[in-house]
Each structure stands twice: as structure tokens, then as C-alpha cells.
């Protein structure tokens, strides 16, 4: 079973983040450009929140707020559940399922942000592992 450290090493590209003072509209542009569903919100390299498409839908659109006039800090999730890089894919799947979340920031023991894993990352790795097991069983059975 892979750890998140291994998953993050396989991911390409820089970590995409925004500041809590950035307008929501800017954060949406960043998410669109990076083709991601959530952004970590950093203030001086410290994780202060997470901003997702779900936050936008539930806290901007439904309340008729203007995305160009609303700062990310006003709608981000500020109580962020995170994991350490030694966690396994299965552990993350359990956390995401239990807490009904789709993104988990990964922080080291000192609180430094290392990256983010999505439910897509976790599902993809789970499928790869299951395919490997099936192939090994087929080889064993067929000799």
C-alpha cells in the first residue's frame, strides 16, 4: 500500500494555492487554469484554509454574493482536516469517506504544507493496486 509521500512524488506540477485576501473570482480562475477542484489557502506559507468548488456553490452562489467582491477568507473552510505523508491510501480513503470530503492537505510534522490529495488520486491508486493483485492472482492460477 502506497503512502501519501509516494503519491505526492508521482504528482506533477507545483502546488497551486491562493491567499485568504484574494477575491473568490481570482481563486476560481486559478482552479480553472490548474484543472483542480480545491485550493489550499496559505498565509505566509501557513495553511489557514481550503477553498473548494463546493464552498463557492454553497457560500457564494446560494447567497447571491459577488465573487469579485468577496475575499476567499469569507467563504473558505478554516477548520481543515489534514494528514501526514506517512498515511496510506486506504487510511485516506477511510477519512474522506467518513468525513464526506474530497480533498486532504498533506503536512509534515512541523506543519509545512507538502501537497494535497484528492479523492480522484486515492481512487486511482486503489484501482491500480487492485489491478496488480488481480494480475498476480491470475498468474498464480494459470501457473
pLDDT of 140 strictly over 80? no
- Cα separation of 36 and 118, whole Å? 9
Q: Which of 12-21, 55-64, 81-90 has the highest mean pLDDT?
A: 81-90
What pLDDT band is residue 72 in, cutting at 50, 70 and 90?
very high
When mean pLDDT is compared across 30-39, 92-101, 119-128, the lowest value belongs to: 119-128
Predicted TM-score (pTM) of this structure: 0.86
Domain 4-142 in this protein, CATH class: alpha beta
pLDDT score of 1: 81
Calculate Rg over the CA atoms of the chain: 18
Partnered with residue 52 across adjacent β-strands are 38
pLDDT of 107 strictly over 80? yes
* pLDDT, greater one: 128 or 75: 75
- Cα separation of 52 and 31, whole Å? 9
38 in Cβ contact with 66 (< 8 Å): no
Per residue, the 3-state secondary structure of 31-60, as one string, reads: HHHHCCCEEEEEECCEEEEEEEHHHHHHHH
Cβ neighbours, 10 Å, residue 48: 16
Amino acid at each position: 500500500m502506497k503512502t501519501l509521500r509516494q503519491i505526492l512524488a508521482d504528482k506533477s506540477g507545483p502546488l497551486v494555492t491562493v491567499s485568504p485576501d484574494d477575491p473568490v473570482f481570482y481563486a476560481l480562475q486559478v482552479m480553472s487554469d490548474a484543472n483542480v477542484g480545491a485550493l489550499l489557502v496559505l498565509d505566509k506559507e501557513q495553511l489557514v484554509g481550503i477553498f473548494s468548488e463546493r464552498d463557492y456553490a454553497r457560500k457564494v452562489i446560494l447567497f447571491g454574493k459577488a465573487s469579485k467582491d468577496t475575499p476567499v477568507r469569507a467563504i473558505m473552510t478554516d477548520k481543515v482536516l489534514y494528514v501526514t505523508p506517512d498515511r496510506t491510501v486506504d487510511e485516506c480513503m477511510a477519512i474522506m469517506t467518513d468525513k464526506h470530503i474530497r480533498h486532504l492537505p498533506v503536512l509534515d510534522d512541523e506543519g509545512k504544507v507538502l501537497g494535497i490529495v484528492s479523492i480522484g488520486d486515492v481512487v486511482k491508486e486503489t484501482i491500480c493496486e487492485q489491478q496488480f493483485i488481480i494480475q498476480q492472482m491470475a498468474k498464480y492460477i494459470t501457473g
